[in-house]
Chains A and B, each alone.
Chain A
Amino acid sequence: MDNILLSIVLAPLIGSLIAGLWRNQVGRAGAHWVTTLGVGISCALSLYVFWLHAFEGAPVYNESVYTWMVAEGIRFEVGFLVDNLTAMMMAVVTFVSLMVHIYTIGYMADEEGYQRFFSYISLFTFAMLMLVMANNFLQLFFGWEAVGLVSYLLIGFYFKKETAIFANMKAFLVNRVGDFGFILGIGAVLMYFGSLDYAQVFAKAPEMAGTTMTIWGDAQWSVMTVICILLFIGAMGKSAQMPLHVWLPDSMEGPTPISALIHAATMVTAGIFMVARMSPLFELSETALSFILVIGATTAFFMGLIGIVQNDIKRVVAYSTLSQLGYMITALGASAYAAGLFHLMTHAFFKALLFLAAGSVIIGMHHIQDIRKMGGIRKYMPITHWTALLGSLALIGFPGFSGFFSKDAIIESVHLSSLWGAGYASWMLTAGVFVTALYSFRMYFLVFHGKGPRDEHAKAHLHESLAVVTVPLVLLAIPSVFIGWYAVEPMLFGDFFDGAIHVAAIHDTLGQMGRTYTDQAGFILHGVGMLPFWLAMAGLALAFVLYMLKPSWPAAIKARAGLLYRVLDNKYGFDDFNQKVFAGGSRGLGKALWLVGDRAMIDGLMVNGSAHSVGALAGIARYLQTGYLFHYAIAIILGLLALMTWFVFL
């Protein structure tokens, strides 16, 4: 087992190093072969490990690989924890990564930096695996930041583009805001648990439930609440929850394959994975769970709204990702960790599919990304069209598709939750279903239907993409459609996550749902009778009306609802606010501290000031040494007089 797990992690790393360091020696083909092979090995072994754990009941693996350091008797280890949760993540990550590797061979065929790209995405796979396989907080943080690094490198892949290198710095810094909370959370864990090892921390967690600490004044804070909220701030950065979501739309500056892999399917879901992994801690703080509920639900609804007004095909999908991440986060807040992870998995497949389909369209359109210039593409790119349709149906939760099961479970469990904020969250998520259907099918109709591409130049060359592009689309479409049907029972209501996820009995919304669950067909029938399904249909229908039947209406609505449109188009003003207040404010503060503090006060007043004072004093002292004999004589006489006065009278 040791060797298998090490191979899973190291194969992509070795591939990455070869493709990166010896890029000229291996050449383009060598780079894609070596990295795809590495990830292929990793994927095959991960599926094997998944099979062992999910079907063969293999015991939980929790071993150290090596001791990073021992300080003050605390062991900081690098090691693996593999249970059903990890095994599922490994399978999803390596499978999507493999698809993206293959797809990239076609997508990047004409690009410079081909080897560099493959090196990065393999490095990403390594980092993401380190993250999900960690058995301690240190390694989790390593993976956490390492995926951030690769994300930085990939968003800035086109390093000549000013927007790209702005976006990658922004992404890294916003993520660092989250990591700032995360590292403090780790500090709190170490302080109260005396260990960073998951098993030890989780075992000790129940006894810490009543412990409090002071932060400001005498107010007592529950330690678990502080730890959970700090850790969750990390998740807000990585999983792009409001108000730390601002980096994700800009990350679309990177090439499309990584938007699919990193900024939709895997890295951004690290926050969801982390919270689920920490469920024994989060279960002990209802305050933190309520916080999560509200943040997630707000993101889910309001980010979806922005998706409706976007015209860049990738940005529509990006806002959709933000919204869907909000759904997953909300599920965690309702203690429906399994539902959140289930949606993570289904979303990984159908969102990767949608991104890769968007990429396929972009290649076909010669790098035009504006959906208003597209249209009628279904005739030219049938495979892309059909797979995109399947992906969209999965996304809006059409009954029977994978997204239907996962999203319905989330909405239902949030509805059942009795935590503070659950009522609000429930409404936001339900309304979000309508929004999801509207933006998804707005994009679908604008891109694939109507009269042929509105861009004449692109139209002349439009054709279906190569097999390396379409085969991954098909391979991703399969789980996008079917995985929900097969996984819903074991993952949500079965014992799949037993031992990996801990849910307190009073929070067990999924357990409550499970009591009325019979089978998939029953679940579908039940869902069809509920409001979310009809909202999804309404959204779909509205998109059909607006973009197929009455194409003149959207412009009219836009003109009437000018203010609302502007608010959405400005993305609620987050970017402007951050740019002015945080970026501008920091620069202003830095200038003030430098010019006033360092230059004027310390150097001007103290350092050069004392030098000048010495000079001035010396200038005065110089007057004493005039060189005139009679001056000295007078000084001697005065001195003598003074001394005599001293001795005689005192």
Chain B
Amino acid sequence: MTADWPILSMSIWLPILGGLAVLGSGDKAPGVTRWLALIVALLTLLVTLPLWIGFDTGTAQMQFVEQVEWVPAFDAWYRLGVDGISMPLIILTAFVSVLVIIAAWQVIQYKPHQYLAAFLIMEGVMIGVFSALDAMLFYVFWEAMLIPMFLVIGVWGGPNRVYATIKFFLYTFLGSVFMLVALVYMYFKSGSMDILAFHDLKLGLTEQILIFLAFLLAFAVKVPMWPVHTWLPDAHVEAPTGGSVILAAIMLKIGGYGFLRFSLPITPDASSELDWLLILLSLVAVVYIGFVALVQQDMKKLIAYSSIAHMGFVTLGFFIVFILLQKGGDGALLGLEGGMVQMVSHGFISAAMFLSVGVLYDRLHSRQITDYGGVVNTMPWFAAFMVFFAMANAGLPGTSGFVGEFMVILASFQANFWYAFLAATTLIIGAAYTLWMVKRVVFGDVASDGVAQLKDINGREALVLGVLAAAVLALGLWPAPLIDVMEATLHQLVNHIAVSKL
């Protein structure tokens, strides 16, 4: 029934047009604006749901495909489609966007219409990134995504927002320029902008390595991987809560998505050749960044570093695949699936963590750990949520945080004992930085007058955190539906990269 509808186009343009409408509504009646934005976000979520319900888990083919000729001169098409990799990320985007709109309800008083419009437009553009099957279209969405985020941090951000926005913009822009060069090169080789055609494009090893490195710059900055990660803590600290949530929950995933959509299938031999580098950087992210997170005094910085460490599992899961293929293939699929699950799970947990910090920030206007202590005394319900999400962040079984890490550790053990050894240190370090923060912020006797006057979360905040908690639990207790969705696609990907292009 829904198969004939242009669901992907609707998912992209509904929030963008809705965002423009919100922008046009002005700041005369913020109440109406908020409801309008919420309705748009909810409608978008509703529109994306058929992608999930109608998804055929049995095939690795692109589904819900739409094609319209766009720029004939470059053979560029308006070409959309989803598979098991992009579909969960699109749902995640639509889901988190709704929560961000609700979380901004009373918090954003300065030009709320522009703020909400920025998020809605960003939502549409990000869905565009995940569903574009044409390189030019992808690139346009990819760059367009930066603008609303740039504005969100630059306008609604903290005191040092200018430094943070420029750092954010230059970092990501630098990476994507190289990606553009690679895309153009492949257009000249294949005569088409079709990403799937790139997958089958024959490329020599040198070409592959150069293309791989160009992509690596773009995606490594987004993930972010060590050592191009330093924009993230700055951006998070300065961003408003909603900006942090989208940044951590969705934008970082675009880097991981890029590896799966571009690097691995287009340059399998280069990926195999350079997998040691990516594995090394992933393990550095897990261990090094974990220790750095331990000593942060600013809660948002701590969570930002924790995000980098958790994303290390994503790239680790993706790049151990080649070693596993050489060993016979056991564990390769497990690693890829683990990386994907980790992306979705991190979307929930990082969103929840940043929203929790946002709840505190809205009350005391501080993100410093030392300004808190004994929050549980005045905000028991909030404390329950915070401890729950902290445990999820520490990878407690039964929460989503466990699933991806577990799968990646199991897979990496099969690649090399020491990969698993270093990755598993997150059990200790991850718990240490998360619980130490919880100890200093949530537990203890009331530390200051500010804490003594805290009011527990209201219904709106409880709703947002409660929905996320439910998602974290659901994925942790029953990850099967998510795995089933991506099994066919990732299986096909493993088969694809197992064949050399040389």
Using a CB–CB distance below 8 Å, which chain A residues touch chain B? 66-72, 74, 138, 141-142, 144-146, 149, 152-153, 156, 159-160, 162, 165-166, 169, 172-173, 176-177, 179-180, 183-184, 186-188, 190-191, 194, 213, 215, 586-587, 589-591, 593-594, 597-598, 601-603, 606-607
Query: Of B84-92, B127-135, B177-185, B423-431, which binds chain A?
Result: B423-431
A residues near B331, Cβ cutoff 8 Å: 72, 191
B374 at interface (Cβ–Cβ under 8 A)?
yes
Given A68-B480, A69-B483, A71-B483: A183 touches B427 (CB 8 Å cut-off): yes
B413 interface neighbour in A153, A190, A594, Cβ under 8 Å: A190
Bound together, the chains give a CA A177 to CA B430 distance in angstroms of 12
> Which 3 A-B pairs have CB atoms at the shortest separation, nearest pair first?
A187-B413, A590-B295, A590-B291
Bound together, the chains give a CA A190 to CA B428 distance in angstroms of 22
Q: Is the beta-carbon distance between A183 and B406 smaller than 8 angstroms?
A: yes
Q: Is the beta-carbon distance between A586 and B432 smaller than 8 angstroms?
A: yes
Q: Is the beta-carbon distance between A169 and B227 smaller than 8 angstroms?
A: no
Q: Is the beta-carbon distance between A173 and B230 smaller than 8 angstroms?
A: no
Would you give the shortest CB distance from B487 to chain A, in whole angstroms? 7
A residues near B425, Cβ cutoff 8 Å: 180
Q: Is the beta-carbon distance between A180 and B427 smaller than 8 angstroms?
A: yes
User: Which of A72, A184, A591 has the most C-beta atoms of chain B within 10 angstroms of its own C-beta?
Assistant: A72
B residues near A180, Cβ cutoff 8 Å: 424-425, 427-428
How many residues in B have their beta carbons less than 8 Å from beta carbons of A? 60
Q: Is the beta-carbon distance between B397 and A142 smaller than 8 angstroms?
A: yes
Bound together, the chains give a CA A586 to CA B167 distance in angstroms of 29
B414 interface neighbour in A141, A179, A191, A215, Cβ under 8 Å: A191
Given A66-B478, A70-B480, A598-B230: A591 touches B295 (CB 8 Å cut-off): yes
B residues near A594, Cβ cutoff 8 Å: 291-292, 295-296
Q: How does the 8 Å CB contact mask read for B382-419 relative to A, with 1 for contact and 0 for none?
A: 00000100010000111000110011011011100110
Query: Of B37-45, B118-126, B211-219, B439-447, which binds chain A?
Result: B439-447
Would you give the shortest CB distance from A140 to chain B, in whole angstroms? 10
Q: Is the beta-carbon distance between A187 and B420 smaller than 8 angstroms?
A: yes
Bound together, the chains give a CA A184 to CA B295 distance in angstroms of 27
Q: Is the beta-carbon distance between B445 and A71 smaller than 8 angstroms?
A: no
Q: Is the beta-carbon distance between B480 and A67 smaller than 8 angstroms?
A: yes
A602 interface neighbour in B230, B337, B387, B487, Cβ under 8 Å: B230
A176 interface neighbour in B332, B403, B417, B427, Cβ under 8 Å: B427
Q: Is the beta-carbon distance between B487 and A194 smaller than 8 angstroms?
A: no
Given A160-B445, A176-B428, A187-B409: A606 touches B295 (CB 8 Å cut-off): no
Q: Is the beta-carbon distance between B410 and A587 smaller than 8 angstroms?
A: no
Q: Is the beta-carbon distance between B483 and A586 smaller than 8 angstroms?
A: no
A146 interface neighbour in B337, B398, B424, B429, Cβ under 8 Å: B398
B55 at interface (Cβ–Cβ under 8 A)?
no
CB<8 Å pairs between A and B, sample of 24: A66-B478, A67-B480, A70-B483, A72-B332, A138-B406, A145-B402, A146-B396, A146-B397, A153-B387, A156-B443, A160-B377, A176-B431, A183-B424, A187-B412, A187-B424, A194-B330, A593-B292, A598-B230, A598-B292, A601-B227, A602-B230, A607-B167, A607-B171, A607-B230
Given A71-B333, A165-B439, A180-B427: A587 touches B483 (CB 8 Å cut-off): no
Known: A71-B487, A183-B424. 14 other contacts (CB 8 A): A68-B480, A69-B403, A69-B480, A70-B483, A71-B337, A72-B331, A138-B406, A145-B396, A156-B443, A159-B443, A165-B444, A173-B435, A215-B417, A606-B227
Q: Is the beta-carbon distance between A593 and B420 smaller than 8 angstroms?
A: no
Q: Is the beta-carbon distance between B398 and A142 smaller than 8 angstroms?
A: yes
Q: How does the 8 Å CB contact mask read for B464-483 relative to A, with 1 for contact and 0 for none?
A: 00000000000001111001
Would you give the shortest CB distance from A396 to chain B, in whole angstroms? 38
A residues near B334, Cβ cutoff 8 Å: 71-72, 74
SS class of chain B's interface: helix, strand, loop or mixed? helix
Given A145-B396, A177-B428: A68 touches B479 (CB 8 Å cut-off): yes
Bound together, the chains give a CA A453 to CA B407 distance in angstroms of 58
B residues near A169, Cβ cutoff 8 Å: 435-436, 439
Q: Is the beta-carbon distance between A183 and B479 smaller than 8 angstroms?
A: no
B52 at interface (Cβ–Cβ under 8 A)?
no
Would you give the shortest CB distance from A23 to chain B, in whole angstroms? 10
SS class of chain A's interface: helix, strand, loop or mixed? helix
Q: Is the beta-carbon distance between B480 and A173 smaller than 8 angstroms?
A: no
B residues near A141, Cβ cutoff 8 Å: 397
B14 at interface (Cβ–Cβ under 8 A)?
no
Docked complex: B329-386 residues within 8 A CB-CB of A: 330-334, 337, 374, 376-377
Would you give the shortest CB distance from A188 to chain B, in whole angstroms? 6
B residues near A172, Cβ cutoff 8 Å: 431, 435
Using a CB–CB distance below 8 Å, which chain B residues touch chain A? 167, 171, 227, 230-231, 288, 291-296, 330-334, 337, 374, 376-377, 387, 391, 396-398, 402-403, 406-407, 409-410, 412-414, 417-418, 420-421, 424-425, 427-429, 431-432, 435-436, 439, 442-445, 477-480, 483-484, 487
A residues near B431, Cβ cutoff 8 Å: 172-173, 176
Bound together, the chains give a CA A190 to CA B420 distance in angstroms of 13
A residues near B478, Cβ cutoff 8 Å: 66, 68-69
User: Which of B376, B427, B442 has the most C-beta atoms of chain A within 10 angstroms of its own C-beta?
Assistant: B427
User: Which of A67, A179, A601 has the most C-beta atoms of chain B within 10 angstroms of its own C-beta?
Assistant: A179
B residues near A184, Cβ cutoff 8 Å: 409, 413, 417, 420-421, 424
Bound together, the chains give a CA A188 to CA B414 distance in angstroms of 8
B residues near A160, Cβ cutoff 8 Å: 374, 377, 444-445
Bound together, the chains give a CA A180 to CA B405 distance in angstroms of 12
A residues near B432, Cβ cutoff 8 Å: 173, 586
User: Which of A70, A149, A194, A601 has the most C-beta atoms of chain B within 10 angstroms of its own C-beta?
Assistant: A149
Q: Is the beta-carbon distance between A603 and B230 smaller than 8 angstroms?
A: yes
Would you give the shortest CB distance from B431 to chain A, in whole angstroms? 5
Would you give the shortest CB distance from A165 to chain B, in whole angstroms? 4
Q: Is the beta-carbon distance between B227 and A602 smaller than 8 angstroms?
A: yes
A residues near B409, Cβ cutoff 8 Å: 183-184, 187
Bound together, the chains give a CA A547 to CA B412 distance in angstroms of 58
Would you give the shortest CB distance from B374 to chain A, in whole angstroms? 7
Would you give the shortest CB distance from A575 to chain B, in whole angstroms? 17
Would you give the shortest CB distance from B243 to chain A, in whole angstroms? 21
Bound together, the chains give a CA A146 to CA B413 distance in angstroms of 24
B410 interface neighbour in A179, A190, A606, Cβ under 8 Å: A190
A residues near B291, Cβ cutoff 8 Å: 586, 589-590, 593-594
User: Which of B374, B407, B414, B432 has the most C-beta atoms of chain A within 10 angstroms of its own C-beta?
Assistant: B432
A residues near B479, Cβ cutoff 8 Å: 68-69
A residues near B439, Cβ cutoff 8 Å: 165-166, 169
Cβ-closest chain B residue relative to A20: B384
Bound together, the chains give a CA A221 to CA B483 distance in angstroms of 34
Bound together, the chains give a CA A238 to CA B391 distance in angstroms of 18
B residues near A166, Cβ cutoff 8 Å: 439
A residues near B428, Cβ cutoff 8 Å: 173, 176-177, 180
Bound together, the chains give a CA A165 to CA B447 distance in angstroms of 14
Bound together, the chains give a CA A589 to CA B290 distance in angstroms of 10
Cβ-closest chain A residue relative to B334: A72
Bound together, the chains give a CA A122 to CA B406 distance in angstroms of 27
Bound together, the chains give a CA A184 to CA B412 distance in angstroms of 10
A residues near B397, Cβ cutoff 8 Å: 138, 141-142, 144-146
B residues near A70, Cβ cutoff 8 Å: 480, 483-484, 487
Cβ-closest chain A residue relative to B418: A215
Would you give the shortest CB distance from A323 to chain B, in whole angstroms? 27
Would you give the shortest CB distance from A618 to chain B, in whole angstroms? 15
Bound together, the chains give a CA A68 to CA B332 distance in angstroms of 19
Cβ-closest chain A residue relative to B170: A611
A residues near B376, Cβ cutoff 8 Å: 159
Q: Is the beta-carbon distance between B417 and A587 smaller than 8 angstroms?
A: no
Given A68-B479, A69-B479, A156-B443: A191 touches B292 (CB 8 Å cut-off): no
Would you give the shortest CB distance from A319 to chain B, in whole angstroms? 25
A residues near B294, Cβ cutoff 8 Å: 586-587, 590
Would you give the shortest CB distance from B381 to chain A, in whole angstroms? 10
Q: Is the beta-carbon distance between B483 and A165 smaller than 8 angstroms?
A: no
